[in-house]
A and B are shown apart, each in its own frame.
Chain A
Amino acid sequence: QVQLVQSGTEVKEPGASVKVSCKASGYTFTANYIHWVRQAPGQGPEWMGWMSSNSGGTFYAQKFQGRVSMTRDTSIGTAYMEMSGLRSDDTAVYYCARGSGSDNWRRLDYWGQGTLVTVSS
């Protein structure tokens, strides 16, 4: 069965960086994109960007450009999201999700369990 398993809770000081991992299993890792979505406490989800697990190509929401980097290691079927210059308003649960389909049939069909990132001094 498809699973995405993320790394554990992180506590960071303002200005620091964080790197969250997302290990995929149960499907061919390079066949699907990985998307990253975050959710601040009490808020709705916010889409951050996607990465092609095959080519490594990326697309980031403008809000995160220059601060976020999405990478992967195909040998171990793992995607990573690194964010720098953390601020208190980056405190959120960060999710990876598998992208499937094309055109109107695009969707996020499997999600990781989420990684809480707390930014506090």
Chain B
Amino acid sequence: DIQLTQSPSFLSASVGDRVTITCRASQGISSSLAWYQQKPGMAPKLLIYAASTLQSGVPSRFSGSGSGTEFTLTISSLQPEDFAAYYCEQFNTYPSTFGQGTKVEIK
């Protein structure tokens, strides 16, 4: 199975900060990667797919990049509603797999 490793696991930031989360794949996955945001007690919400395509309705402060084995999710200016956990997921090869997550908390 393809392993996804996210870094950092935990991030403390302030409103307005630029935040970058990295997801590394154990083997090349082309651009078959999605990013999700999850708030406590809620289902994950799709933010980005195909590594860099913004899901409809998602604010433009979210962006994704990368291909092959290294990917990033960037939040250009952190807003209060962005404090949550973020997960990457690969679809290049089944079984699909998720990263272990990055929790973004208020500094």
Q: What residues of chain A have their CB less than 8 Å away from a CB belonging to chain B?
A: 35, 37, 44-47, 49-50, 59, 61-62, 95, 97, 101, 103-109, 111-114
Contacts and interface: CB of A to CB of B under 8 A. Distances in A.
10 contacts: A45-B36, A45-B44, A47-B95, A47-B97, A62-B95, A104-B32, A106-B91, A107-B50, A107-B91, A111-B45
Shortest beta-carbon contacts, A-B, top 3? A107-B49, A111-B43, A106-B91
Interface residues on B, range: 20 to 34
Contact of B89 (A47, A62, A101, A104): A47
A113 B43 contact: yes
B79 interface: no
Contacts of A106: 32, 34, 49, 91
B34 A108 contact: yes
B46 A95 contact: no
Contacts, number: 64
Nearest to A93: B43
The B contact surface, by secondary structure, is loop
A45 B32 contact: no
Given A59-B94, A111-B43, A104 B101 contact: no
Contacts of B30: 104
Contact of A44 (B49, B55, B98): B98
Given A106-B91, A108-B46, A112-B43, 14 more contacts: A44-B87, A44-B100, A45-B44, A47-B89, A47-B95, A50-B94, A59-B94, A61-B94, A101-B50, A104-B32, A104-B51, A104-B92, A105-B53, A107-B91
A1 B72 CA distance: 30
Contacts of B53: 105
B26 interface: no
